[in-house]
Structure 1
Amino acid sequence: MSHQAYELKAEARERVGKGSAREVRRNGKVPAVIYGDKQPPLAIALSYKEIFLKIHAGGFLTTVATIDVDGQKIQVLPKDYQLDPVRDFPVHVDFLRIGKDTEVNVDVPVHFINEEKSPGLKRGGVLNIVRHSVEFHCRANAIPEFITIDLTGAEIGDSIHISSVKLPEGVRPVIADRDFTIATVAGSSAMKPEAVEQPGAEQAEPAAAEAEEEKK
């Protein structure tokens, strides 16, 4: 399941544009917009501290929130945010207004478990992650926090495709025309060599010694 829903308090903004946004930031708040659900966009100002903490806590773009705009509570899903390129603080946030049956496309992180139970990785193989996240289509109130890939039994040369991942009901990948790869287990120069018995090895050493003796 997704992160626990939370609530943010906000103030409506009557003016929009760059000048208004700069004024909001000077007052220690973050400008934002709520759009969607066939309603006009709503410009708001949010607490800088609350938004900063939510963005950097993880799961911000996959967690439904409630925004209290001067007493009116609106359910939303964060869709995008901009950070200052130098100081890394939030400068703007876009929210999608959601209804009871709203469906969305959202990037969900991939988590890997049981790496210690993969024979290929234990031999020194490398987990090559092709996709750190996967875009899914699902209901806005049922976004998974992450999807889990179990590496138990994975050997060198194995590929993990989306078809092998157990997904929650109603969650389906946006890419539907192919069984795309999420990760592979590849060989590496650090792999432990397997013991290979050479045929006739036991006889080779005595024969060489015998030949040397004949030379003498």
Structure 2
Amino acid sequence: MAGEIPDLEALERTGTGKGAARQARRENLVPGIVFGGDKEPLPINLPYNDLIKRLKAGRFKSTLFNLKVEGHEDVRVICRDVQRDIVKDLPTHVDFMRLRRTSKINLFIPVEFVGEEECPGLKAGGVMTVVRPEVELIVTAGDIPEKLVADVSKLAIGDTLHISDIEIPAGAKKTIDRDFVVANIAAPSALASQDDEEETPEETEVMEQHAETVEGEPEQTDD
């Protein structure tokens, strides 16, 4: 079942065109539009500070939002474009698309790691490195998985957990075809350093060869 979808609050924009957009920006708002879903496009304004905060958090274009606009039913939307000022690189307009429950979208799903207490590698002092705390999947808007569960209870030092080791929910699909790494168990740094030292070959002293170091009689000269 889908996890909690973040709310995105907006105001209906009564005017359209460049004049209304400029007025919105003067009021510390960012104009936008909501389209799709067999309904008329809905002009909106987004609070500037809230939008900036969400953009800085990342994944804005791959996050499903529950759009709340006073006087309208809540609707699930995903961002399709963020237009920016070419000089200041600040958002000037945002496009959102309405989604049906059957719509397919790309979303980053968090990975939850379980079995750490039983993991042989961690018990032996190993360190787990999480390569992908989130995995991008193609999912159905009406059935978004809350998380992926990765079991590390049988991993030893040197073992690697791939995406093929994690069960992908029915109806979801990876966006990357290859079997990529999600996490691995590495030896502790002190042990790794010790192993490196043990594997380092002994240095052999090399003496520069002179006449005095060559066995046998010195070469006779014609003096």
Normalising by the residue count of structure 1, what TM-score does the alignment of the two structures yield? Answer: 0.65
Counterpart Cα distance in 1 of 2:191 and 2:20 = 59
In the other structure, the counterpart of 1:73 is 73
Specify the SS of the correspondent of 1:117. Answer: coil
**Per-residue deviation, 1:160:** 1.2
The structure-2 alpha-carbon separation of the partners of 1:21 and 1:72, relative to structure 1 and needing over 3 Å to count, comes to same
Q: Which moved more, 1:181-190 or 1:40-49?
A: 40-49
Give the letter aligned to residue 158 of structure 2. G
How many residue pairs end up in the alignment?
A: 189
Q: Which region of structure 1 is more displaced relative to structure 2, 180-189 or 134-143? A: 180-189
**Deviation by residue 1:164-200 (Cα, 9 ceiling, x = unmatched):** 212322122122x33222122122323499xxxxxxx
Q: Does 2:147 match 1:119?
A: no
Q: Which structure: larger Rg?
A: 2
Partner Cα distance (2:126, 2:92) in 1: 43
Give me the whole-angstrom Cα distance separating, in 2, the residues matched to 1:48 and 1:73.
Answer: 23
Deviation at 1:41, TM superposition (A): 4.9
Structure 1 residue aligned with 2:178: 178
- Counterpart in 2 of 1:132? 133
In structure 2, relative to structure 1, the CA distance for the partners of 1:122 and 1:30 (3 Å cut) is farther
* Alignment-mate amino acid for residue 178 of structure 2: R
Describe the superposition over 1:106-140 as per-residue Cα deviations: whole angstroms up to 9, x where unpaired.
12222323433322123232323222321111111
The verdict on how the C-alpha distance between 1:157 and 1:21 changes in structure 2, with shifts beyond 3 A counting, is farther
Question: Residues 29 and 47 of structure 1 are in contact (CA less than 8 Å); yes or no, is this contact kept in structure 2?
Answer: yes
Structure 1 residues 153 and 142, CA, compared in 2 at 3 Å: closer, same or farther? same
Aligned residues with identical type, % of pairs: 35
Aligned mates of 2:56, 2:144 — CA distance in 1:
19
Alignment CA distance shift 1:149-1:74 (3 Å)? same
> Matched residues in 2 for 1:2 and 1:131: separation?
19
Helix, strand or coil: the match of 1:142?
A: coil
1:37-56 correspondence to structure 2 within 5 Å: 37=37, 41-47=41-47
TM-score (norm 2): 0.63
1:72 aligned counterpart, secondary structure: coil
Question: 1:23 & 1:111 partners in 2: Cα distance?
Answer: 45
In structure 2, what is the equivalent of residue 34 of structure 1? 34
> Per the alignment, in what secondary structure is the counterpart of residue 142 of structure 2?
helix
Residue number in structure 2 paired with 1:162: 163
Distance in structure 2 (CA, Å) of the matches to 1:127 and 1:16: 54
Tell me how far apart the structure 2 counterparts of residues 16 and 124 of structure 1 sit (CA, whole Å): 63
Contact 1:62 1:143 in 2 (8 A): no
